[in-house]
Every structure is written in structure tokens, then in C-alpha cells.
């Protein structure tokens, strides 16, 4: 059998569709910087979702649990080797994502004889100021992009774009941790919003029942909190502790979640 360029294009498209389909149901992740540090927030079911990678790096992803684990460990390995052989100062998200993770991910994606990685990951890197915090998004095909001060991943392109637009409009640097968490939580809900065309349900008269953005957020958070747990990790900018990373506790999160736990009006 002859393997033509057409077959290659076709195969790659199928792989992309396969992966996108599996990513679609993933719980979005919001990255937002505030005065206190860099924040990643998501809602999870049973598995942990936000991980410490290195002194100034944390990671979260949507996708297959096994693939996420592969990349989490690979990232930790790379950072610790580099940090030990050279210096922790030489470990950066740019090196990690750009040189260590992206090329092999792209190669694995292009290798049509094996199953592709099902993964969309976000790396948050703590900088000196909120504006310098970098959020790298790494996609299953090895593509990556960086935004500063905020970042987002979601199962759909539309949801991801919507989250980014809202995040970009915020001035994270002026926010306290509590305020940033509240904003991040609401923007998280937007990650699962459908495109406008798919959104309006036709009622019997052929009219459209449109749900406003605020209503959508409230409803989504109510539903999500009934089944899942909010997980938020922070890399603290000014701390005496040896580890800058910590997961936020129930005490810090519960006040924010209480409004969405009340019975629906």
C-alpha cells in the first residue's frame, strides 16, 4: 500500500478530531495573577488537578489522566535536573515548555502509528510582579502560547477565548487574593459556555431562549459545586516559606462558594 501525503493529512485530521472530542468535556482551568501571587483555579471531581512542578512553576491540565501524569512527571524531572545541575534560576517555563515538552509532543502527535496524547496543559510561572507572571498553554499537537498576568484552558476553543477576553479585561495586579479567587471562579464557569449558534434553544414557536451571561455563570457554578470540588493553587510572591506553592484550604475557599450553595431562588 502506498502512503500518500493525502493519507497523512487525513490521518492527522482524524487524530486532532479524536483528541478534541476527548478534551471537550474537560473542566476548564483559570490562571490569574494578583498581588499575592499567581493563581490556578479549577473545579474537579475525584483526582487532584493542580500540581506543583518547581519552585516557581505549577501545572494543571485537561485530558487523559495517564497523559497528564506523563507530562507532569516529565516536567518535574526536567526542572529538578536543571535546577540541581545549574541553578533554580535557570529553570523557566519558556525552557520547559519550548524545549523539553513541545518538540516530543509534536513528534508523538505526528506519529500516526501510536495513540496521540490527550492533553491541554497550562503552566503558571511566578514572576516578580503580577504583570510578569507567565502562563504557558501547551496543546496536544505541541503548539504553545504564552500570556502574561492571566491564562486559561478549556475543552472548547470558544470557551477558552471567552475566558481569555474576560481575564484580559481585569487588572489582576490590583486584586487581593480573595477578589482574584472570586473573579477566577466566575470566569471558570464561562469556559464551558457554548458558541452563540449552539446556545439558543428553539422553543415551540421557533423563538430563542437566550440565557444571559450572569445567569449562565450562576447556574453553571451551582451545578458544578453540587458535584465537584473547587481546587485552587497559588505560588506566593512574598513568603518566608521554603515552598512558594500551596493549595488553598477550605477556610479560604468556602466563603466564596457559599452563595452558590444556597437553594435556587
Partner 1 sequence: MFGTASGDFARLLQRSAAGFDFLARRSGLEERAGTRWEGEAWLPPRFAPSIPRFDPVPGPLTPPAPTVDVHGTTVIAVKYKGGVLNVGDRRATAAFAVMYDRAEKVLALDDYTLIAISGSYAKAIEVVRYLRHAFKYFERSQLQRMSLDGKLSELARVIAANVPNLMNGIGAFIPVLSTYDLDRNEGRIFFYDGMGARFETAEYGAAGSGAERIRGCFEYVLRTKGPFHEMSFDEALYEALLLLEIAAELDTATGGSYKHLPLAKFIDAEGIQDVPEEKLRETLQRIGAGPATVR
Q: Of 20, 52, 211, 252, which lies in the binding site for partner 1, with binding defined by CB under 8 A?
A: 52
Scanning the chain, the segments in alpha helix (DSSP H) are 5-23, 65-85, 93-95, 102-110, 157-168, 177-190, 196-199, 213-227, 250-261
Q: How far is the CB of 174 from partner 1 (least distance, A)?
A: 29
Binding positions for partner 1, 73-92, rule CB under 8 A: 73-74, 76-78, 80-85
Q: Which is nearer to partner 1, 14 or 107 (CB)?
A: 107
Closest CA to 31 of 170, 239, 157, 216: 170
Pairing of strands 229-236, 245-247: antiparallel
Is 48 among the residues that bind partner 1 (CB under 8 A)?
Answer: yes
Sole window of 12-20, 191-199, 241-249, 251-259 interacting with partner 1 (rule: CB under 8 A): 241-249
Is 158 among the residues that bind partner 1 (CB under 8 A)?
Answer: no
Q: Of 16, 100, 132, 177, which lies in the binding site for partner 1, with binding defined by CB under 8 A?
A: 100
Is 264 among the residues that bind partner 1 (CB under 8 A)?
Answer: no
- What's the CA gap between 167 and 211, in Å, rounded? 21
Phi, psi dihedral angles at 73 (to 5 degrees): -65, -40
CA 204, chain centre distance (Å): 38
Q: Which is nearer to partner 1, 108 or 179 (CB)?
A: 108
Is 45 among the residues that bind partner 1 (CB under 8 A)?
Answer: no
Q: How far is the CB of 14 from partner 1 (least distance, A)?
A: 17
Is 53 among the residues that bind partner 1 (CB under 8 A)?
Answer: yes
Cα dihedral sign, 149-134-55-45: positive
Is 24 among the residues that bind partner 1 (CB under 8 A)?
Answer: no
- What's the CA gap between 63 and 119, in Å, rounded? 4
Cβ(29)–Cβ(41) below 8 Å: yes
Q: How far is the CB of 184 from partner 1 (least distance, A)?
A: 23
Is 113 among the residues that bind partner 1 (CB under 8 A)?
Answer: yes
Q: How far is the CB of 59 from partner 1 (least distance, A)?
A: 10
Cβ(159)–Cβ(28) below 8 Å: yes
Give the interface with partner 1 as residue ranges (CB under 8 A). Answer: 48, 51-54, 70, 73-74, 76-78, 80-85, 99-100, 103-105, 107-108, 111, 113-114, 240-243
Amino acid at each position: 500500500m502506498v502512503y500518500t501525503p493525502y493519507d497523512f493529512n487525513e490521518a492527522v485530521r482524524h487524530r486532532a478530531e479524536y483528541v478534541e472530542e476527548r478534551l471537550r468535556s474537560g473542566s476548564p482551568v483559570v490562571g490569574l495573577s494578583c498581588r499575592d501571587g499567581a493563581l490556578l483555579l479549577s473545579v474537579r471531581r475525584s483526582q487532584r488537578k493542580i500540581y506543583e512542578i518547581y519552585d516557581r512553576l505549577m501545572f494543571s491540565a485537561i485530558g487523559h489522566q495517564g497523559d497528564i501524569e506523563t507530562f507532569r512527571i516529565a516536567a518535574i524531572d526536567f526542572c529538578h535536573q536543571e535546577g540541581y545541575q545549574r541553578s533554580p534560576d535557570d529553570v523557566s517555563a519558556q525552557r520547559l515548555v519550548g524545549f523539553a515538552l513541545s518538540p516530543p509532543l509534536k513528534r508523538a502527535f505526528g506519529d500516526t502509528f501510536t495513540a496521540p496524547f490527550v492533553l491541554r496543559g497550562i503552566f503558571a510561572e511566578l514572576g516578580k510582579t503580577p504583570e510578569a507572571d507567565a502562563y504557558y498553554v501547551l496543546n496536544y499537537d505541541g503548539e504553545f502560547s504564552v500570556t502574561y498576568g492571566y491564562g486559561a484552558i478549556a475543552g472548547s476553543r470558544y470557551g477558552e477565548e471567552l475566558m481569555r477576553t474576560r481575564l484580559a479585561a481585569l487588572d489582576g495586579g490590583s486584586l487581593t487574593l480573595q477578589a482574584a479567587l472570586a473573579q477566577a471562579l466566575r470566569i471558570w464557569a464561562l469556559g464551558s459556555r457554548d458558541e452563540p449558534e449552539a446556545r439558543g434553544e428553539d422553543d415551540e414557536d421557533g423563538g430563542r431562549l437566550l440565557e444571559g451571561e450572569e445567569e449562565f455563570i450562576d447556574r453553571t457554578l451551582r451545578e458544578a459545586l453540587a458535584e465537584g470540588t473547587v481546587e485552587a493553587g497559588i505560588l506566593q510572591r512574598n513568603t518566608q516559606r521554603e515552598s512558594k506553592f500551596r493549595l488553598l484550604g477550605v477556610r479560604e475557599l468556602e466563603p466564596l462558594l457559599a452563595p452558590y450553595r444556597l437553594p435556587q431562588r
